[in-house]
Chain A
């Protein structure tokens, strides 16, 4: 049966007056959407092949190309949208599960956009971060219930001397901590789902800024060991690439239970992507599918999780924090409480809008809860149980700007993970075709023609710029509130107000509506 043509998603518009037939677009499109005809010396485009990544548009030296959404419309129908019709047609033809990449793109309410921040006026002074010190340093890890100090230092025995902070010594043994210069980390993205050049960019940027990136379930490539002090190594259900040196190389270990884009299901790196380098890093044969099971087959309860947490702590001689990453689901608060009680030093929670390299569209768009509600619920629960200090909380899943970061922290997170934002900084335009391995930007691909398009020097520079810019903005917002340390904002929901939210939303988020004073 011939494939029934459906209207294409995008239209490639070429301004013939500007097109110089230099063929840059022809050479660069990994989907072969452009072609050159030597007989007529013209370049033509096939819109059916366009995925909307905008690479050609970006690189065209004369600006002759514009990628537009196809204006062809179905009969307007609120229930049966063009997307729905396209999906059904695709499945009627292929009988397959629809795949997609990146995070949920459905118009669920984004609570960040319904939360506003406070600022100082008259009664309390605001602070100018360009003139006064502003502290963004954040420590991730278990904090002690109480600390004991001793004043028995030689200086303090002198009479009439006022003791200084230096005269005290801390008796309490602190748990290992991750020291972040800004409360933003790079989310777990594996070598395999993204290219080595992308991993190197993340690692170098994390080192330069003084934060951490996460290996995902891809193991640690030999070239990345030098960034170990800025790496969180992940142990996921497939246990790919996990060995002694791997665990010892990282600054922290994260057990991945779930991912915001696909709660409850595992991962699948197709065999075509398992090159020699990836096979060595993941410790699997070349060309075999890397299948991560949905659950960890040795974890069916909090007690089982506790065993793995302590096995990893034992293996690394209690020298580094061990955390657990879960996706935000209905029961996230009690689950997080169990995880903290199981001994995790940090809990990472990935919300509904968290990204992925590949996931069934139906799962990505319909499973899980928004991160805003999850942070509020988990922070509340841990506070109520008096165990909030026992673990740090890292929020992930759709953090788009510095204001999202600061709102997440005010809601109760200690830090945030950014994944999609980091990819966008490296060039990504969210065409959501990561699963095809044909990423024109050289990010979500292992094709040697494409991976070299991401120069890690440029990637690093752009990521560092992004984090610097966000950090500055966070300082500005903190200063406006009259706060000079991010620690003082953590869980400080009085600084937040809801706009256009229902009473239930406000109750769940634990914030007051805009207009209501302290």
Chain B
């Protein structure tokens, strides 16, 4: 079964700890202090907390069934992982043309331009049992469940 990340915006308090932990998870050292203070290229979070007034929620790639980024990608860097159903970006193939960013209906792909220009997006934390944003949300506002 494909696991999906669900958002419970009524409990998102906007602390952005998910962004912090996402950044650390996708850093080279995976050490929170080094990731923030010493790494180049500076890692960026792949989850974004959207806020307006007291409403906030953490948004990351929805791994759409009919993902437009898959079709838009000119190099075939975007691909779907057969096992998990996740949409992933092969950073070796990515040339940073930003077509995926143009077509993403959720605006959850960001530009990583500090090193080699690549599209940066949620990979559901490959290798982790539970994505780190879900694991570390202090108020369980992001949950990882079997697809409903």
Q: Could you list which residues of chain A lie within 8 angstroms of chain B, going by C-beta atoms?
A: 17-18, 20-24, 27-28, 59, 61-62, 442, 447-449, 452-455, 457-458
- Which 4 A-B pairs have CB atoms at the shortest separation, nearest pair first? A20-B36, A448-B54, A455-B11, A449-B54
Q: A336 CA to B39 CA in the complex, in Å?
A: 69
Decide yes or no: A24 and B141 within 8 Å by CB, A61-B32, A62-B33 being known contacts. no
8 of the cross-chain contacts (CB-CB < 8 Å) are: A20-B36, A22-B19, A24-B15, A62-B33, A452-B10, A454-B139, A455-B140, A458-B139
What's the least CB distance linking B129 to chain A, in Å? Answer: 20
Q: A27 CA to B14 CA in the complex, in Å?
A: 7
A453 touches B37 (CB 8 A): no
Is B103 in contact with chain A by the CB < 8 A criterion? no
B15 touches A27 (CB 8 A): yes
What's the least CB distance linking A227 to chain B, in Å? Answer: 19
Q: A165 CA to B3 CA in the complex, in Å?
A: 55
What's the least CB distance linking A61 to chain B, in Å? Answer: 5
Q: Which residue of B lies closest to A440 (CB)?
A: B13
Work out how many contacts link A and B, with CB atoms closer than 8 A.
57
B139 touches A27 (CB 8 A): no
Q: A61 CA to B17 CA in the complex, in Å?
A: 7
Q: A24 CA to B136 CA in the complex, in Å?
A: 13
Q: A387 CA to B14 CA in the complex, in Å?
A: 56
What's the least CB distance linking B85 to chain A, in Å? Answer: 27
Q: A108 CA to B57 CA in the complex, in Å?
A: 47
Q: Which residue of A lies closest to B136 (CB)?
A: A61
Q: Which residue of A lies closest to B140 (CB)?
A: A455
A61 touches B140 (CB 8 A): no
Q: A457 CA to B141 CA in the complex, in Å?
A: 11
Q: Which residue of A lies closest to B137 (CB)?
A: A455
A22 touches B16 (CB 8 A): yes
Contacts of A22 in B (CB 8 A): 16-17, 19-20, 36
Q: A455 CA to B10 CA in the complex, in Å?
A: 9
Q: A445 CA to B138 CA in the complex, in Å?
A: 19
B17 touches A62 (CB 8 A): no
Which of A17, A23, A27 has the most chain B CB atoms inside 10 A of its CB? Answer: A27
Q: Which residue of A lies closest to B10 (CB)?
A: A452
Contacts of A20 in B (CB 8 A): 20, 32-33, 36-37
Is B21 in contact with chain A by the CB < 8 A criterion? yes
A455 touches B33 (CB 8 A): no
Contacts of B19 in A (CB 8 A): 22
Q: Which residue of A lies closest to B35 (CB)?
A: A20
Q: A458 CA to B36 CA in the complex, in Å?
A: 30
Decide yes or no: A27 and B54 within 8 Å by CB, A20-B32, A20-B36, A458-B139 being known contacts. no
Contacts of A24 in B (CB 8 A): 15-17, 20
A62 touches B54 (CB 8 A): no
Which of A21, A59, A61, A62 has the most chain B CB atoms inside 10 A of its CB? Answer: A61
Q: A255 CA to B33 CA in the complex, in Å?
A: 56
What's the least CB distance linking A458 to chain B, in Å? Answer: 6
B33 touches A452 (CB 8 A): no
A61 touches B21 (CB 8 A): yes
Q: List CB contacts (< 8 Å) of B43-65 with chain A.
A: 54
Contacts of A442 in B (CB 8 A): 13
Q: List CB contacts (< 8 Å) of B15-30 with chain A.
A: 15-17, 19-21
Is B12 in contact with chain A by the CB < 8 A criterion? yes
What's the least CB distance linking B138 to chain A, in Å? Answer: 6
Contacts of B141 in A (CB 8 A): 455
Additional A-B contact list (12), CB under 8 Å, known A20-B37, A28-B15, A453-B11: A20-B32, A20-B33, A22-B17, A24-B17, A61-B136, A442-B13, A447-B54, A448-B54, A452-B10, A452-B12, A455-B140, A458-B140
